[in-house]
Amino acid sequence: MSQSHNRGLIEDFGRWREFRAGMWAWIFHKFTGWVLVGYLFTHIAVLSTAIPASGQETAVLQAGDDVYTQTIVTLEELLLVRILEVGLLAVAVFHILNGTRLLFIDLGVGLESQDKSFYASLILTGLITVASVPTFLAGAF
C-alpha cells in the first residue's frame, strides 16, 4: 500500500489569515486566560510584601517607608508598569465579555450571531481600554 503524505499540525497557525470570528474568539480567550493566570502569580508576589511589612514599626508604616508601600510606589513610578496595567485591563475586559458570550453559547442563545457578539466584545474592549488610559497614565510623565 502506498504511504501517505502527512502535512502535520505545524501548518495550522500559518493559516491565521483564514481564521474566522469563532476561531479568533477561541484563540483570544485562551491567550487572555493564560495572561490572567500569569498576572495572578505576580499579583500574589507583590501583595506578599505586605506580610513582612506588617511586622514593621508603626512609625515606619505611617511614614510609608515599609517594604509593601515602597514596592508599590516603585512599581507605579515605572512607565512600563503603567502601560502593562492598561494592557491588563484590556485583557481582563475581553475575557469577561467573551466569557459572557460563551455563556450564552452554552445556553444555546444567539448562536447565529456568535460572530457579531465577538466583534461587539472586541469593540467594547477597545472603548473601555481607551477610556481607561487617562486614569492609568495620570502623573506617569
Partner 1 sequence: MSTQVPQQTDETDAETEPDAAEEPSKGDLRREKKAERAAEREREAEAAENAAAGGNTRELKVFRFDPEIEGKQEPRFDEFHVPFEKGMTVLDALIYARDTYDSSLTFRHSCRQAVCGSDAMFVNGQQRLACKTQLSELSEPVRVEPLPHADVRKDLVVDMEHFYDQMDAVEPFFDADELPEDELAEQRQSRQNREKVKMSTRCIWCGACMSSCNIAAGDNQYLGPAALNKAYRFAMDDREGEARKQERLEIIEQEHGVWRCQTQFSCTEVCPKDIPLTEHIQELKREAVKNNLKFW
Closest to partner 1 by CB, 10 vs 138, is: 10
The total number of residues shown for the chain amounts to 141
Identify the residue among 10, 11, 55, 58 touching partner 1 (CB under 8 A).
Answer: 11
Closest to partner 1 by CB, 3 vs 62, is: 3
Residue that the C-alpha cell 508576589 belongs to: 45
Residue that the C-alpha cell 505611617 belongs to: 62
Identify the residue among 55, 108, 134, 139 touching partner 1 (CB under 8 A).
Answer: 108
**Residue 7 contacts partner 1 per CB under 8 A:** yes
Comparing CA positions, the residue from 37, 130, 117 lying closest to residue 89 is 130
The dihedral of CA 117, 122, 124, 125: what is its sign?
A: positive
Cell numbers representing residue 129 in the block: 481600554
**Residue 58 contacts partner 1 per CB under 8 A:** no
**Residue 105 contacts partner 1 per CB under 8 A:** yes
- State in angstroms the smallest separation of the CB of 35 from partner 1: 18
- Alpha-carbon gap, residue 43 to 60, rounded angstroms: 24
What residues make contact with partner 1 under the rule CB under 8 A?
2-7, 9, 11-12, 15, 17-18, 20-23, 25-26, 102, 105-108, 111-112, 114-115
